[in-house]
Amino acid sequence: MYFRILALLFVFFTGYSSVLAQVPGLQFGIKGGTNITKIVDKSFQDEFRYGYHLGAFAVLKISKDVQLQPEVLFNQYNTRTSSSFKDDVANPDNLKNVTLNYLSIPVLLNITPSKLFSFQVGPQFGQLINRDNNLVANGKNAFREGDFSMLGGLQINIGNIKINGRYIIGLSDISELPEQNNWKNQGFQLSLGYRIL
């Protein structure tokens, strides 16, 4: 399923690359990298775990020092439940590892005081496309389908190469379970991008 989504995104962006090239001040590229994330709550271990992300980005020049950078990413977040997680709300045999796969759309504002680097800030909207079904309560999935986060970070620009470091802080509760504390995604994202157009 993941590869179908990535293939559709690739075809979409590749198919419109010639059109995008005609828009002045518009750039297009691909990117990928690692996610270092955790879910903040006593039900989960307070440690970061590794996942990955792949996708595409566009950069629209607003002024000399300001750009808008929307992205479409496949994001994988991994975490591990703690020993305090209640066995009565989940399958006790499968409580250790949790994987959440999101189709994420960050919309970032780039402040570029120098050609070498840009400060980035903006929201990220996420749609859960493959939830971990090991955590279920009364036939319900444990995780909500949507996630809303804020991102902030730094991008280094070396020719067509983009190197990103970002901090992700979740603002929405991703738990569907009753009587649970708020579950929020948190972590870091390191990526390498390449501008095609």
Complete DSSP assignment for 103-158: EEEEEEEEEEEETTEEEEEEEEEEEEEE--TTSEETTEESB-SEEEEEEEEEEEEE
Query: What pLDDT was estimated at residue 72?
Result: 95
- How many domains does one find in the chain? 1
Tell me the whole-structure pTM to 2 decimals. 0.78
Rounded CA separation 92/135 (Å): 9
Query: What pLDDT was estimated at residue 156?
Result: 97
Query: What pLDDT was estimated at residue 88?
Result: 45
In this structure, are residues 150 and 113 in contact, taking their beta carbons and an 8 Å threshold?
A: no
Query: What pLDDT was estimated at residue 129?
Result: 87
In this structure, are residues 127 and 146 in contact, taking their beta carbons and an 8 Å threshold?
A: yes
Q: What is the pLDDT of residues 101-129, one digit of tens each?
A: 999 999 999 999 999 999 999 999 999 88
Rounded CA separation 61/40 (Å): 36
Rounded CA separation 189/47 (Å): 15
The residue length of the chain stands at 197
Query: What pLDDT was estimated at residue 139?
Result: 44
Task: Calculate ∠ Cα 181-182-183, nearest 5°.
Answer: 115
Query: What pLDDT was estimated at residue 176?
Result: 75
Query: What pLDDT was estimated at residue 78?
Result: 86
Rounded CA separation 60/110 (Å): 10
Query: What pLDDT was estimated at residue 99?
Result: 85
Query: What pLDDT was estimated at residue 13?
Result: 55
Q: Print the domain residue range for 85.
A: 2-195
Query: What pLDDT was estimated at residue 5?
Result: 57
- The rounded mean pLDDT for the chain is 81
Low-confidence residues of the chain, pLDDT below 70? 1-24, 42-43, 45, 82-96, 131-141, 178-181
CATH of the domain at 87: 2.40.160.20
| CB neighbours of residue 66 within 10 Å | 13
Q: Taking Cα atoms as reference points, which of 4, 11, 90 lies closest to residue 44?
A: 90
